[in-house]
Amino acid sequence: MMKIALALLLALLAACNSDKKISTNSDAGKLVVNTLYINGVLWSANQVSDASVLAVKGDKIVYVGNGGRDQFVAAKIVDLDGKFMMPGFVDNHVHFFEGGAALTSVNLRDVSSKQDFVSRIKNYISTVEKNRWVLNGNWDHENWGGELPSKNWIDADSASNPVFVIRLDGHIALANSAALLAAGIDSETEDPAGGEIGRNELGEPNGILKGNALNMVLSIIPQPSTEEVLDIFNVAQAHALSLGLTQVHAVTANPTETTMLDAFRLANASGDMKIRALVYTPIEHWQDARDLVNEAGAGGDTLRWGGVKGFVDGSLGATTAWFHKPYTDALETNGAPLTAPDKLAALIAASDKAGLRLAIHAIGDKAIDQLIAIYKTTGAETITNKRYRIEHFQHPSSVAITAAASNGIVASMQPYHAIDDGRWAQKRIGEVRVKTTYAFRSILDAGVKLSFGSDWPVAPLSPLAGVYAAVTRRTTDGRNPDGWQPQEKINVSEALTAYTAANAYAGFDDNSGELAVGMRADLVVLSDDPRKVDPITILDIKVLKTIIAGATVYQDDDNTLSSLIESR
């Protein structure tokens, strides 16, 4: 038996050596790659036609084409089996840590009555310890007819916990009495510049805070511990990766938010960070951003910084977006600037001179016009090279759209808002102004660079939900099956480009956003080709794989992709 076993072993070794020799000879001159993807439908912006094969070496794409498999020796071959591969999705506007915290906090997004609002908060408070702050919420008073909530709704059930739950647009919040007390807000407190403290008939705060008044509470909320920050980050990251996102542009939610970049750097230093991020910090602290870039550079491939975010105005839902004419349903106001125009102009000029990248929130038509004027003065003859961004760009006039195109300004938009706000936008601003609301088609046709994202947690994080919104414009209440303002629909390829190549441009990232040789291997595989399905079923498409720097960071358990390991 020993002799037989030895003979078998020697025969096996001879066969292995023979195979190795043959393999070496047959593979001479071939490029060795880590992963070879075959039999796919590979889409990319600026690509003349679909490809079917893609090769990755290290963290870079080294081949995209049809056929050509025999050019490579691959450690792993993945048969895509006809599935759709594209560059990884990039989100141009997320509040990443707020989104992660919202996933673990009270959820008020789908609340449709006062009773449900009260019971949701009561039930959530019963699960947390006393004195712990209850935050996020993301409620929408339009869901129950438009009445704003009051501290009186929730005070009886929340005496032991400060509550500060924010409307989904981030520009109105409800604070209970405990939160108002902690912030020192009472009947004697004056409204801050750019903000409003809601009051009852006796002049006492009713719990509603608008605009810059939110900062009075935000500034005194206890900061989370290191462990809590990492937990929130990982919850948010897992959610993002499952949706096919390979990069996010994380933007500040308010001028007092000075710890967001620190949280990202903590996550990166801990080794937890897989998703890429470009971070925009408050423009009010532009000197800190400048000093960090001067001392430590602008980050690396995974985490970058050196951009600043500012605000011109508020939001349409809060009636704080700044228009030339009054609101149709609130004739006493046309909104107001959150930052005085001369002050904002000075901040923008200083930031630009320091080499920082600019992303400024402007929603109402007057806010957009003011910002374009400031950008034109600041950028002067080099403005078209600056990639200045207008965050949201929701209600531009036709003149503003043309001005954005001629000055190279990026329209940084979030398409899901169109099918959400479209339920009630006309009652706010009338039938004329809504004609250029979320005007995706007009913006592209004018030659403006259109960039897409979510504004999560204001809207769902899913890029496919954004594509669906831009392509169908079917409002979430089901009342516009053919699309709200349907003349502004765009096609699927245009929406995908806005989530990939356009976002790479908007984020000064020239190494991603397309399937091309030399680009980073940040990829996503979908169950179906979104260009070929009925647009109303885009929401049913599944993300099968998310790949960053050539490594799979998310894989759907039910996917049918097969991997063949090659040892040559």
pLDDT digits (tens, 9 = 90+) for 225-268: 999 999 999 999 999 999 999 999 999 988 878 899 999 999 99
The answer to whether the bond into 457 is cis (omega within 30° of 0) is yes
Q: Is 70 exceeded by the pLDDT of residue 8?
A: no
> Where does the pLDDT of residue 26 fall: very low under 50, low under 70, confident under 90, or very high at 90 and above?
low
- Beta strands at 562-565 and 72-79: parallel, antiparallel or unpaired: antiparallel
* pLDDT value of residue 10: 38
Q: What angle do CA 294, 300, 306 make, to 5 degrees?
A: 45
Taking the C-alpha atoms of residue 147 and residue 294, their distance in angstroms, rounded to an integer, is: 49
Q: Is 60 exceeded by the pLDDT of residue 11?
A: no
Domain segments of the chain: what residues? 30-88+514-568, 97-218
Q: Is 60 exceeded by the pLDDT of residue 274?
A: yes
Across 434-443, average pLDDT: 96
* pLDDT value of residue 20: 32
* pLDDT value of residue 467: 98
Fold of 30-88+514-568: Urease, subunit C; domain 1 (2.30.40)
Q: Is 80 exceeded by the pLDDT of residue 567?
A: no
Across 411-440, average pLDDT: 96
> Where does the pLDDT of residue 22 fall: very low under 50, low under 70, confident under 90, or very high at 90 and above?
very low
- Region 97-218: CATH code: 3.10.310.70
Q: What whole-number percentage of the chain has pLDDT above 90?
A: 84
Amino acid symbol at 24? T
pLDDT, mean over the chain: 92
pLDDT tens, position by position, 527-564: 999 999 999 999 999 999 999 999 999 999 876 677 66
* pLDDT value of residue 108: 93
Q: What is the CA radius of gyration of the chain?
A: 26
* pLDDT value of residue 155: 94
- The structure's pTM equals 0.86
Q: Residues with Cβ < 8 Å from 176, sequence gap 6 or more?
A: 151, 154, 155, 158, 161, 162, 163, 164, 207
> Where does the pLDDT of residue 566 fall: very low under 50, low under 70, confident under 90, or very high at 90 and above?
low
Q: Are 413 and 341 in contact (CB under 8 A)?
A: no
pLDDT tens, position by position, 197-207: 999 999 999 99
Taking the C-alpha atoms of residue 123 and residue 115, their distance in angstroms, rounded to an integer, is: 12
* pLDDT value of residue 7: 44
Q: Are 215 and 197 in contact (CB under 8 A)?
A: no
* pLDDT value of residue 169: 81
Q: Is 60 exceeded by the pLDDT of residue 491?
A: yes
